[in-house]
């Protein structure tokens, strides 16, 4: 019986690797177990009262859900805007033509602050006129999602950006409007309900 000819290209190939019975070196297994054990002990021994400087800078009050105003922590309105509003109203505040209204130069933004607070607290649906253009969409309510200090910070932010020059909004103002409109259970019906508040 004739043996198959082995070509020179085949002779240059390395043999197929074999794992054997113990593919992972013992020191890797030991190191993994030690790291896992350290992580479990570290988390188990950590307490919520550790100094904020040791973590991400949040105080105990923030971690326990105390309001920002109560602990005197300044809220970054720009950060709230970036996380909650930018998808619709855009980073430029120009909105999306025909879909989402602009905040830059908007009479709703620079107008009566209590109307703006109510609008953001409860949202709006239906036809809303902004800068002479009608937008027929829906804005979600943020009353249940944001605290008074957060709402005040984001409203102050949009009232001072993109050429807007309006007074800042305080957490007390937001709290007052929240209390006055607490009975409201649905969004404002666009111009029909918001124009009288303007």
Residue 116 is predicted with a pLDDT of 87
Residue 178: exposed, middle, or buried by beta-carbon count in 10 A (0-12, 13-18, 19+)? middle
Provide the pLDDT for residue 37: 95
Q: Which helix (H) or strand (E) holds 136?
A: strand 133-139
Tens of pLDDT along the chain (198 residues)? Answer: 566 677 777 777 877 777 666 677 888 889 999 999 999 998 888 776 666 566 666 555 555 554 444 444 578 888 888 888 888 888 888 888 878 888 888 888 888 888 888 888 888 888 888 888 888 878 888 888 888 888 888 898 998 888 889 888 888 988 998 888 888 888 888 888 788 877
Element (H, E) at 126: strand 124-130
Element (H, E) at 137: strand 133-139
Dihedrals phi, psi of 126, to nearest 5 degrees: 95, -175
Instruction: Supply the pTM of this predicted model.
Output: 0.62
Domains of the chain: 75-197 (1.10.760.10)
Q: What's the token pair of residue 100?
A: 């989402």
> Which residues have a Cβ under 8 Å from the Cβ of 159 and sit 6 or more positions away?
109, 110, 113, 116, 166, 167, 168, 169
Decide: 137 and 124 in contact? Cβ < 8 Å.
no
């Amino acid at each position: 019986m004739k043996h198959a000819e082995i070509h020179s290209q085949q002779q240059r190939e390395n043999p197929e690797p074999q794992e054997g019975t113990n593919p992972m070196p013992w020191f890797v297994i030991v190191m993994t177990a030690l790291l896992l054990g350290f992580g479990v002990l570290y988390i188990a021994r950590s307490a919520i009262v550790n100094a904020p400087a040791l973590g991400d800078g949040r105080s105990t009050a923030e971690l326990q859900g105390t309001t920002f105003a109560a602990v005197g922590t300044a809220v970054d309105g720009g950060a709230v805007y970036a996380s909650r509003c930018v998808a619709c109203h855009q980073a430029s505040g120009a909105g999306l033509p025909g879909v989402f209204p602009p905040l830059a130069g908007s009479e709703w933004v620079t107008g009566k602050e209590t109307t703006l607070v109510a609008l953001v607290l409860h949202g709006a649906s239906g036809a809303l006129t902004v800068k002479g253009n009608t937008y027929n969409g829906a804005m979600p309510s943020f009353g249940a999602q944001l605290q008074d200090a957060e709402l005040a910070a984001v409203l102050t932010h949009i009232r001072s950006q993109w050429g807007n020059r309006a007074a800042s909004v305080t957490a007390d103002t937001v709290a007052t409007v929240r209390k006055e409109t607490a009975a409201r259970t649905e969004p404002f019906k666009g111009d029909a309900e918001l124009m009288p508040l303007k």
